[in-house]
Structure 1
Amino acid sequence: MKTTEDILIVDLEATCWEGRPPRGQESEIIEIGVCILNTGTGKISKNEGILIKPRLSKVSPFCTELTTLTQNILDNEGIALEDTFDILKAEYDSEELAWASYGNYDLSMLRNQAERFYIDYPMSDDHINVKTLFGQIHPGIRKSVGMNRALGELGLVLEGTHHRGVDDARNIARILYWCLKNQK
């Protein structure tokens, strides 16, 4: 890893549907939740959710039910994906810091969206899959488990709203901190 003191935690939310997307629409990032985890103290800082206006899709009722985000919220408060990537680089040092997410979805989606929209990929090559790490370290876990179950296994309560990037990033940081303290 490029740093051992601070790790950038990322959690994405994307447009989604119950079943297949409508013709002409595809899943795209609508929120990037971020925070910085200090690996020495476990302190979480700079926690925010950056809302993104989708270009190729609309927020479905299913997506709103899952994330609480609406098309209206994104139309009024969302910014362009390019601007979001610039924020990650400028304010979160995303090209230099090791970063973590719960599973590989966020890694794949960030790469795919950068390629799809011809934007420079904003992250370093040092990625930590917290889901895999948790499964390797936690006794009694034989397969990968979801973030909410992982919190429960640790005796932690989910803070905030599940499937909101701003809150999930903070919860992932809590799981990662436990993993780092309990690595052999």
Structure 2
Amino acid sequence: MARKLDKILVIDLEATCWKDKTPEGMHNDIIEIGICLLDVKSGEISDNRGIIVKPERSIVSDFCTELTTITQNLVDMEGIAFTEACRILKNEYDAHARPWASFGAYDLRQFQRQCTELKIAYPLGPSHINVKTLFALKYQLGHETGMAGALEMLNIPLEGTHHRGVDDAKNIAKILHRILQ
């Protein structure tokens, strides 16, 4: 399959989490896939959405809701199965054929781990761009910084709710566009 290099798929995941250690019998499950497409030439950000995913092996803790604003009720009412979310990535975003980016390596590892554990075909392509590392290298920081800090350094206002995938994907795309300029 030919690579599509006109746009980069930008992804930000939110997953179930707990204030302390993971409770017995629970697993970190993806509960939101924030996604958008960044046009490499123009910098236009399109197809921005948040796919709410119903966790299969855990529940949304109060701590997780405080961090993300995502509630158990929201995932129960609007969430789709992880397999369906993967199908959307592959079929609607050509995720397997495009380079994709996230802020740090967490999203890459979480996607790989959950696909492996649930025996689901990995929907993303092999070309992952770690925007967090790329930003630190581009601006010769000597250390990595968080997404909010990177936006602040670039004088780009943080748009939406921090730790909501739909909003963070768009914010990450803005950082990546600036790096690519």
Q: Could you say whether these structures have the same fold, taking a TM-score greater than 0.5 normalized by the shorter chain as the test?
A: yes
State the one-letter code of the partner of 1:24: G
Alignment-derived partner of residue 111 in structure 1: 112
Preserved contact between residue 2 and residue 126 of structure 1 (Cα < 8 Å)? no
Alignment-derived partner of residue 29 in structure 1: 30
TM-score, normalising length from structure 2? 0.97
State the one-letter code of the partner of 1:2: R
Q: Deviations over 1:64-110 (max 9, x none)?
A: 00000000100010000000000000100000011000011001111
Matches within 5 A, 1:24-173: 24-139=25-140, 141-173=141-173
- Measured at CA, do residues 138 and 3 of structure 1 come closer, stay the same or move farther in structure 2, by a change above 3 Å? farther
Q: Distance in 1 between matches of 2:5 and 2:149?
A: 27
Preserved contact between residue 9 and residue 34 of structure 1 (Cα < 8 Å)? yes
Q: Distance in 1 between matches of 2:99 and 2:57?
A: 30
Deviation at 1:134, TM superposition (A): 0.3
Q: Distance in 2 between matches of 1:55 and 1:85?
A: 14
**Count of aligned pairs between the two proteins:** 180
Q: Which runs of 5+ in 1 are unaligned?
A: none
Deviation at 1:5, TM superposition (A): 1.7
Q: Distance in 2 between matches of 1:138 and 1:154?
A: 10
Deviation at 1:111, TM superposition (A): 0.5
State the one-letter code of the partner of 2:162: H
Local SS of the residue matching 1:91: helix
Q: Deviations over 1:146-176 (max 9, x none)?
A: 0000000001110000000000000000000
The two structures, once aligned, show a CA RMSD in angstroms of 1.1
Q: Distance in 2 between matches of 1:159 and 1:174?
A: 10
Q: Which runs of 4+ in 1 moved over 2 A?
A: 1-4
Q: Deviations over 1:53-74 (max 9, x none)?
A: 0011110000000000000100
Deviation at 1:28, TM superposition (A): 1.0
Q: Which runs of 5+ in 2 are unaligned?
A: none
- Does residue 176 in structure 1 map to residue 176 in structure 2? yes
Deviation at 1:3, TM superposition (A): 3.6
